[in-house]
Amino acid sequence: MQEDESQAHLCTFLAFDTETTGLAGNENTRLIEIAWVKGTFSSHDAETWQYLIKPVRMLVPDKITELTGITDEMLCTSGIPARDAISAFSDAVKTSDCVIAHNMSFDKTIIADECSRLGIPDPLSKAYLFCTMKAGVRYRKRNTNRPQKKTISLINLHKAIFGTVPPTSHRALPDAISCARCAWILAKSDTFPENGAFGR
């Protein structure tokens, strides 16, 4: 599916990120944080949501705590049930024209696995999806002379677009905000609808 540039600017977007205990597709991996930014590309105004997930018989691995700063105590005291967080996320997705993530395949799998465990519908199964990692590879190819790789990190994409490193990473909300900022620039170019970045 393709959209022209004017449609991209008018669409209501939702950019999200997840933090987890491990890799997508591993049956022991659990969602520990989800956050999203919702707005339009024609405006700089946006709303944000951020939820820690209350654990169910799980511990946050030390390496994840070192990476994110998220601890078991934080999840137990400030977390909400995964069902409630995904329900809020689902409501937000329903009123969005496109859903954005960096490395969408990872985050999409995490959400799908959590929904499967909970026995609830996957809000992303029919959503219009946009991956800033896929679009970012194309953007870098068009705008730099560096040897090309098949992936680009969110930090490096942000640096390629804005010339700066995001102030914070490896927490869901700051990464969702950085993802939204990058998508806003990508939406102005033919990178946005092309090269498989959009899909269902």
Domain 5-199 has CATH 3.30.420.10: yes
pLDDT above 90: residue 44: no
Calculate the alpha carbon distances from 57 to 23, 68, 75, 114, 117 in Å: 18, 20, 12, 14, 14
Segment 47-84, tens digit of pLDDT: 999 999 999 877 899 999 999 999 999 999 999 999 99
Segment 95-136, tens digit of pLDDT: 999 999 999 999 999 999 999 999 999 999 999 999 999 999
CA separation for the pair 107, 90 (Å, rounded): 14
pLDDT attached to residue 4: 36
- Region of 87 on the Ramachandran plot (φ > 0 left; ψ -120 to 50 alpha; else beta): alpha
Bridge-based pairing state of the strands 12-20 and 98-101: parallel
What is the chain's length? 200
Is the CB of residue 75 less than 8 Å from the CB of residue 52? yes
Segment 124-180, tens digit of pLDDT: 999 999 999 999 998 888 877 666 788 999 999 999 999 999 877 789 999 999 999
Question: pLDDT-based confidence at 9, cuts 50/70/90?
Answer: low
In sequence order, what are the residues at sequence separation of 6 or more whose Cβ sits closer than 8 angstroms to the Cβ of residue 81? 53, 54
Q: Is 19 helix (H, G, I), strand (E, B) or coil?
A: strand
Query: Whose structure tokens read 């029919």?
Result: 126
Say whether pTM exceeds 0.85.
Answer: yes
Per domain, the residue ranges of the chain are 5-199
pLDDT attached to residue 118: 96
